[in-house]
Every structure is written in C-alpha cells, then in structure tokens.
Amino acid sequence: MPFFAESYEIVVVGAGHAGCEAALACARMGCRTLLLTLNMDGVALMPCNPSIGGTAKGHLVREVDALGGEMGRAIDDTFIQSRMLNTGKGPAVHSLRAQADKKQYQRRMLHALQHQQGLTLKQGEVADIHTENGRVTGVTTTTGALYPCRAVIVATGVYLKSRVIIGETHADAGPSGLGNAKSLSQALTGLGFALRRFKTGTPARVDSRTVDFSKFIPQPGDERIVPFSFLSPRLEREQVPCYLGYTTQETHRIIRENLHRAPLFSGDINGVGPRYCPSIEDKVVRFADRERHPLFLEPEGLDTLEWYVQGMSSSMPEDVQYRIYRSIPGMERVQLTRLAYAIEYDCIDPTRLRPTLEAKEVGGLYFAGQINGSSGYEEAAAQGLYAGINAALALAGREPMILSRADAYIGVLVDDLTGKGTNEPYRMMTSRAEYRLLLRQDNADLRLTETGYRIGLASSERYERMCDKRQGAQDLIQRLRSTSLRAAQVESVLGEESAAGILAADLLKRANVRYTDLAAACPELPQVRQEIAEQAEITLRYEGYLLRQERQVEEFKRTENVRIPNNIDYNNITGLRIEARQKLDRLRPETLGAAQRISGVSPGDLAVLMIKLEQMRREGKK
C-alpha cells in the first residue's frame, strides 16, 4: 500500500547528467523539487568516456553554462586535461573538451545538489506516474512512497529494463554493475508511450601498470586553458596526458575469426545502435580495407590506475576481449579491470514531445536525456536543463522558453528530436546546425545569457559579465572601423612594406593578423580582454558569412513564428498530398517552420497549409 510521503512541485526521476541539470534548474527557479536516484553512488556518473565536451558537445556545455546550468562549472572544477579542438579549421568548429576526474566530478555535482536550497535528493526507484484528467499528479516508488507533485521530469538514461551483454552472457542490469529500473517502463506504456530498444556500448578499462605507455604517442593538454564556464576565472592547472595508439592486422584477424561469437552479429542484440559509436568489431567489418584503427588511452581519474580505452568498445566474450586488447602494441600483458559491454535499454519516441520536452498527451510530464533517444552526457545535460526550465516556467504560469535552431545547439537538438525523431541514439554534430557560424562556442553567453537571466536562472553576476563583454566587443569593433594604421605601423604588423595606411578593421580581416598585433603596433588601440578581442576578430573577419547566415535566419524566423493550432485536422485539408497529410498528422508540428522541415512536406503542401491556417484564423475572428 502506498503511503503519503511528501508533496513537491516537481519530481525529477534519475540523477544522471539530465536529471542533475533539471533538478538544479527547477530548484533555482523557485520550485520545491525532489530528485530521485536509483543509487546515491550513481549521481552524475560517467559510465562511459571520462571526458566532457568535444565537437558540438562542447558547444552544448557552454550553452548550458550560459543559461545558468551546472555542467560547465563542475567540469572546470574537476578536469585533469583541457584542449580546444579544431583550432586550425575555422571559428564555428572550435570545440572545447576536457578529461574529467570521474569521481571528483560526481562529488562536485553531488555537492551542488545537496547544497541547493529547495532541492531534496533521495535514493528511490519510481514505479508509477499518476495522472488525472491528462495531467501529472504524482509518483510512487517501488517501496510505496507516494509523492504528489505537479510536474515530473523523466530522466532515466539507459536504466529502463536495461540488459548488459558481454558475449554469450546477458545480465539484467544497469551500467557499471549498477542495478536497473524494472517497473517504470510499464507505467510509461500505460500512459500511452510506445517504447523502443536502443543500444550503446563502452570499451574495457585497463590497469595502467600493465600498459607500456612508451609504445603510445602522448597527447598533452593545451598550455593556455579556456574554461567551459563563462564564470570561471583564468585557470592554471597541472594536466595529465592521454595516449594515442593503433590496432593491428592481428587485432582485425582475431575479430574476424570470432565474429560468430559477437552478439551484434549473431542476432543476440536487437537494439538499434548508433553509427557514430560503433564497436571495434563493427568497424572492422564495415571498413574492412582499413589497416588500423586509432585508439586513445584516457585516465579515469587522478587517484586510480584504471584507464579508459577510447575506440575499442565491444560486446565480444571475455576471452576474445583479452585477445583483442592484447594484440595492441604496448598492451601485450594488459589486465582488463572492467570488461567492455553493450547495453540495451527502453526509450520513447521523442516526436511524442512538444518543443518544450513536455509530453503532447500528458500535461506536466517531461522527458530529458537518453530516454529521448539521444546519447552523450552533454546532450543529456542540455535536455535536462531545457526540460527543467520549461517545467518551472509552466508551473509559474509563464511563457515557455523555446530555443530555435537559430538560437542554439540546444534548439537544434530539441527540434531534431521532437520534430523529426531519431532511429538511432542521437549525437550532436556541428554539421547538424544550419547556422553554425552564428552558433559558436565563443558567443554562447552573448546568445543565451540574457534569456537565462530573464527567466531567473542565470545570476546577475553572469548577466553583467555578458553585458560587459558585449559592450566591449561593440566598442572595439567601432574603434577598429574608425582607426587607421600608418604605413609604418602596417609594416610592423604585416612584416612587409606597405605603401599607405590601412584601416585597422581591414587589417584584422587578413589571415594570421591578431588583435594583439594591431594593439602592439598602434598605441591608440586599447588593451582588451582576450574574449573581447576574439569577438572583434571573428565579427570582422567573417563579416560576409555572418551576414549571409543572419539573412538566412531572418527567412527562417518568418515561418518559425507562425503557430499551427493544436486542433487542426489535416485529414480535412484538401490539396495536401497523402504523404504530407499523414506525416503532419503524426508529428503535429507546432509552427509552420517545423512543418516545413518535415521530409515529405513539399513547398506546395506548405502553401496549402498556409491557406488553411489563414482560413482558420479568419473563422476564429468571426
């Protein structure tokens, strides 16, 4: 029999990266929030790679930070190596990545949760979600505690009915030897959600005493560290290297000879796995002509001898795993401290969600993270924050915070998931963002902090810093546009003779000219912070591209701002082709822009739809 435990405004189910951000956002926005985790030792666990960020993912972390989230500050406090990737390839794809000390990261996040006012963190498994008149009213745990609440955020990660597969061995378990959640799947089915099986995997961890690191190429961190958080001060820290190595022909031979024992190929795994995160056996089969595949050794933390072997995820039986790993130069005697495994889990179809991540059919029920078919800590954190913010706004009767594809990677993420859905675990990539020259990691604060401040999540300190940076960049750009360098000054910047003076702004447009060079040559130019100089450099150098993208965004916004009423009946619109009718009816886009992005909706269909909308608007007026 359930007993009445305590009532909350919001209950967050799961304390992974999505759940942590969601719970913190809700509590910080003034909602009494309960965060339930399957295991107190699993809070903010990083069950796979020991790093945060990377291409596009690093952008997400900075956006989470700019809105007032926790992940950026947590990793800044606990990283043991930091790198800005892609620095030679253009500003849109500069991406920050940091190696985390996993245990420290967990402790750091746990500290934030436990010290957050208005937030209660408890161990407990949710068995049921209660609704009344299509709205959430509470949750019950497997031990019978009933928590009445007005909103629920489901952030269960890969724990729903998860199954861990190592060769012929299957275990009814969660990742890293933790337990799984057995009851909630049925509750979700009962609420009308069709569940799907997705699959992901992780490589083995190895004992570093049994690795000959001299056979690997060291990968050091950056000398000049750029923090994730816009609030973090300049950081200096001793860093540890990672190591690069390669598989051999022998590795590939072993894999090929044992394919019949790989559950992936023997049919034991039914879940859909991601293409971008293939197991080593998958890589060897699909890219048979490759002579070697790269792998990276990454420390799991400072006070452990366990290292992570990136690139070598597998679900082969234990004996085969040993043979595979030991075929790598430098790992001939390696001991595996944890075996590689594949994991299958239940997730929902995210097209059943509104652009706020609230379920279309159940008011107050939000979903975030891997349960939505995404993958990755950063994708999870971004959704958690987004769902948390929107749940809190909704309970306060305020307008939702919708980020569009032109605002943020978070917007791209949510729009892709809710608008198109996904057939495999979804990973963010910069190539998914149409306006990526505008959505850079360096301007995440300029794009989002004002919004974060307005909704009451970003602090005033954060807001003022952003304003200061924005103003500083504007002033500097104006200054550069009105300052000319004399011929001699130009010469000292370019190192070549110059016949006449040149406008500072034009000089900065040349490749390899940095603002510091100009400031050194021209005393009229002010000394500014690096982040301000960087904004001026990018704004001036990529002016043409930025303008083109801004124009595209303008076009985009025109259709994005036209709302489609919930009660529209697509089956009664003559002129829509059948395919368009079915897809629109299934996905029920909320804006004309979202309708436009559905594959199978033609420009003709769109015109028909617009006319229908106008008819509806006029009838509504009468």
Partner 1 sequence: METIASIATAVGMGGIAIVRISGPEARNILTRVFAPKNTKRGMRSHQLTYGWVVEGEERVDECMAVFMRAPHTYTTEDVAEIQCHGGRVAADRVLEAVLHNGARLAEPGEFTKRAFLGGRIDLAQAESVMDLIGAKTARAAKRSMQQMDGDLSRRIHQLQDQLLDTVAYLEAYLDYPDEDIEEMTAEQAALRVRAVQQELGRAAGNARAGRMLSAGARIVLAGSPNTGKSSLLNGLLREQRAIVTAAPGTTRDLLREELDLNGLPVVLVDTAGLRKAQDEVESIGIGRAREEIDRADVTLMVLDAAREMDEEERALLKKVETPLVVAMNKSDLERRLEKEQVLALAPGAWTVETSAKTGQGLDALRRALFQAALQGASPEEAYLTRERHVQAALRALEALQRAQEALASATLDCAALDLRAAWEALGAITGANATEDVVDRIFEKFCLGK
Identify the DSSP state of 586: H
Q: 513 Cβ partners below 8 Å, 6+ apart?
A: 493, 494, 507
| DSSP class per residue in 242-309 | EEEEE--HHHHHHHHHTGGG-HHHHT---SBPPTTS--HHHHHHHTTT-S--EEEEEES-TT--EEEE
What is the rounded distance in angstroms from the CA atom of residue 382 to the CA atom of residue 72? Answer: 11
Binders in 50-69 for partner 1, by CB under 8 A: 55-56
Q: Which two tokens stand for residue 454?
A: 């307005």
| Residue 290: CB minimum distance to partner 1, A | 6
Q: Does 90 bind partner 1 (CB under 8 A)?
A: yes
**Could you tell me which stretch among 101-109, 111-119, 225-233, 307-315 binds partner 1 (CB under 8 A)?**
307-315
Choice between 193 and 198, CB closer to partner 1? 198
- What length is written for the chain? 622
- Nearer to partner 1 among residue 143 and residue 431 (C-beta): 431
* 290 is a site residue for partner 1 (CB under 8 A): yes
Longest dimension (CA), the chain: 89
Residues 267 and 281: their CA atoms lie apart, in Å, by 14
What is the smallest separation between the CB atom of 126 and partner 1, expressed in angstroms? 30
Other CB atoms within 10 Å distance of the CB of residue 551: 10
- Min CB(570)–partner 1 separation in Å: 15
The CA angle 469-98-342, to the nearest 5 degrees, is: 135
Q: How many CB atoms lie within 10 A of CB 509?
A: 14
Tokens found for residue 385? 């924050």
Binding to partner 1 in span 176-235, by CB under 8 A: 203
Q: Which stretch binds partner 1 (CB under 8 A): 73-81, 141-149, 428-436, 520-528?
A: 428-436
CB environment 403-437: b (16+ within 10 A), e (fewer): bbbbbbbbbbbbbbbbbbbbebbbbbebebbbbbb
CA distance 410 to 381: 10
Closest CB 97 distance from partner 1, rounded Å: 9
For residue 461, what are the CA distances in angstroms to 74, 393, 418, 423, 470? 18, 22, 33, 41, 14
Report the residue from 78, 82, 86, 404 that binds partner 1 according to the rule CB under 8 A.
86
Q: Please, which residue, 33 or 422, has the CB nearer to partner 1?
A: 422
CB 535 within 8 A of CB 508: no
Instruction: State yes or no: residue 563 binds partner 1 (CB under 8 A).
Output: no
Q: Does 135 sit near partner 1 (CB under 8 A)?
A: no
Least Å distance, CB 593 to partner 1, is: 11
Q: Which of residues 123 and 559 has its CB atom nearest to partner 1 in the complex?
A: 559
369 binds partner 1 (CB under 8 A): no
User: Can residue 274 be called a binding residue for partner 1 (CB under 8 A)?
Assistant: yes
Answer yes or no whether residue 287 interacts with partner 1 by CB under 8 A: yes
- The correct pick among 4, 89, 270, 524 for binding partner 1 (CB under 8 A) is 89
Which residues within the stretch 568-597 sit at the binding site for partner 1 (CB under 8 A)?
575, 577
For partner 1, the binding residue among 313, 315, 374, 539 (CB under 8 A) is 313
Which residues of this chain interact with partner 1, rule CB under 8 A? 48-49, 55-56, 85-86, 88-93, 95, 203, 246, 274-278, 283, 286-287, 290, 292-294, 296, 310-311, 313, 429-432, 434, 436-437, 511, 542, 545, 549, 554, 558-559, 562, 575, 577, 599, 602-604, 606-608, 610-611, 613-615, 618
